[in-house]
Amino acid sequence: MTRSVALVVASCWASALVAQEREGGTAAVFERFADRVVKLQVVERGSGAKSSLGTGFFVTADGRLVSNYHVVAETVANDRYRLEWLDQNGIANPARVVAIDVVRDLSIVATDKPRSTFFTLDRSALARGSRLYSLGHPEDLGLSIVEGTYNGLLEHTLYPKIHFTGPINPGMSGGPSLTAQGAVVGVNVATAGNSLGFLVPVDAAIALLDRSADDADLPFDDLIAEQVLANQERYLATLFNQADSSVTIGPFRLPTQPADFFRCWADAEREDEALFEFVDHRCSTDDFIYLSGSQSSGIVSLSHRVVISRGLNPLRFYALYTNQFNQDNGLGWRPEGDVTEYRCRDDNVRQDGLLMRVSFCVRRYRKYRGLYDARVKAAVLGARDAGVVTQLNLSGVSFENAERLARHYLGRIRWASR
């Protein structure tokens, strides 16, 4: 700890001159553009108190703002909340959401106040390492500007995101990240801590702004479901397409790495005196689509636990196997108002000579028609000393996709050697 602090101090002295020069630049950027960035707050109607806040920025002469969907989500989902924007003097004015893109986490908010200054959104190519300035209201501490660098697009994501190296903090969501010349590059959306920030590329905001007139009429719940369903067709179609994405664990050949945007991990549990061993393998998407505080879509995960006997008799081994099968059910709890209870089908299923106990469960999102959480879990039967508990979890997908992927997944489970 002491050492790292010392290092930071030393480097500060060394670059004092450069920093001074740059601060002048940052101050100029703030001076020029601060009035185009406002605070958005979600207010509970009954108490008049704010329940959450974020940032937005003006993009049209008729006073439209761009922000994140997750900043305004509560007001879209629930009549109990309304949206306000705060002008330079801190005076609250009403605002309304006119367009959303849940997949890209963007929204367009109308303030109905004409503007003389606003950002003109334009696509521009940028070199990795370019300096960017990010504006927003971190933790309700007032409008702030942070410097950072553009680090290109992220890999392993469901949809494109810019990797911004700079301290984006809660409350800055929805704010712009721009070049010194005032060209907006992206919209602040997420942070992974330690100056790891993520931006939604500006072209998504341009596209949403272009069609913001049409969307306003639709009921937002249906629109959200529609957007999520359209998006999943795109990424779910790519799952399990690579023929070689299988892994051999013990006597089993099992699916892995369903697509590039998955990350996989493995671990094993082998204790000297234990009468069994576990080998675990799991893959998950790194990314998800925010729908509401407790609902999301796009999380796909799979896990295998291979259980191998080291001297347990079959009855004892199957007692252990049963526990493993029933223990990790991977079906998370969500508030009852958001989703229905799970409904499951259990059966012994035989496919290409392989016998499995299969449990397939689904529950529906109450508000979003056509969106389901699904899980298929299987245990391979027939061996007296080895088994695998494997499951695929899908959140916020259509029933047809859930069924298709579950089937496909089961079809990829094989004996490696027998």
Partner 1 sequence: MGQPLVIEIADHRGRLLQRTRLGPGSCTIGRGYRNDIILDDQYVDPEHLEIASNGAGDWIVTDLGSRNGTTVVATGQFLRQGLLQPGQELRIGHTTIRVFASDHPVPPAQALGTGTGLMARYVEPKRATAILAGALVLTGISQYLGSSSTQSFAELATPALGLLLLAALWATAWAFTNRIVAHRFRFISHLAWTALIVVGYSIVAIGIEWLEFLVPRFDWSLVQVGIGTGVFATLLAGHLQLVTDWTAARQWRVAALAAAAGLVIVGIIGQADWLDDGEDTAAVDRSPLKPVSSRLVPSSGPDRFFDRAADLKAEVDEMAGDDDGGAAEPAGEPDPPDTAAASDAPGGR
Residue 13 neighbours by CB distance under 10 Å: 8
Give the nearer residue to partner 1 in terms of CB position, either 375 or 414: 375
For residues 40 and 59, give the distance between their C-alpha atoms in angstroms, rounded to a whole number: 15
Give the chain's radius of gyration (CA, Å). Answer: 25
Interface with partner 1: number of residues (CB under 8 A): 106
Residue 304 in the binding site for partner 1 (CB under 8 A): no
For residues 122 and 202, give the distance between their C-alpha atoms in angstroms, rounded to a whole number: 7
Choices 85-93, 116-124, 240-248, 285-293 (CB under 8 A): range interacting with partner 1: 285-293
Number of Cα atoms under 13 Å in the Cβ half of residue 107: 31
> Is the distance from CB of 308 to CB of 324 less than 8 angstroms?
no
Query: Which value, to the nearest 10 degrees, does the dihedral of the CA atoms of residues 285, 290, 296, 298 take?
Result: -30
Residue 238 in the binding site for partner 1 (CB under 8 A): no
- The footprint of partner 1 on residues 362-381 (CB under 8 A) is 362-369, 372, 375, 377, 379, 381
> Is the distance from CB of 95 to CB of 40 less than 8 angstroms?
yes
Choices 22-30, 86-94, 262-270, 402-410 (CB under 8 A): range interacting with partner 1: 402-410
Give the nearer residue to partner 1 in terms of CB position, either 45 or 128: 45
- The footprint of partner 1 on residues 328-367 (CB under 8 A) is 329, 331-351, 355, 357-367
Structure tokens at 100: 């959303």
The partner residues of 163 in beta bridges, in order of sequence, read: 198
Q: How far is CA 160 from CA 199, 200, 262, 297, 357, in A?
A: 9, 7, 14, 16, 39
Binding test (CB under 8 A) with partner 1, winner from 80, 113, 211, 234: 80
Residue 81 in the binding site for partner 1 (CB under 8 A): yes
> Is the distance from CB of 280 to CB of 305 less than 8 angstroms?
yes
Residue 384 in the binding site for partner 1 (CB under 8 A): yes
Give the nearer residue to partner 1 in terms of CB position, either 133 or 325: 325
Residue 321 in the binding site for partner 1 (CB under 8 A): yes
Q: Would you give the binding string for partner 1 spanning residues 18-57, x where CB under 8 A is met? A: ------------------------x-x------xxxx---
Residue 165 in the binding site for partner 1 (CB under 8 A): no
Q: Would you give the binding string for partner 1 spanning residues 104-143, x where CB under 8 A is met? A: -x-------------------------------xxxx---
Give the nearer residue to partner 1 in terms of CB position, either 22 or 345: 345
> Is the distance from CB of 121 to CB of 209 less than 8 angstroms?
yes
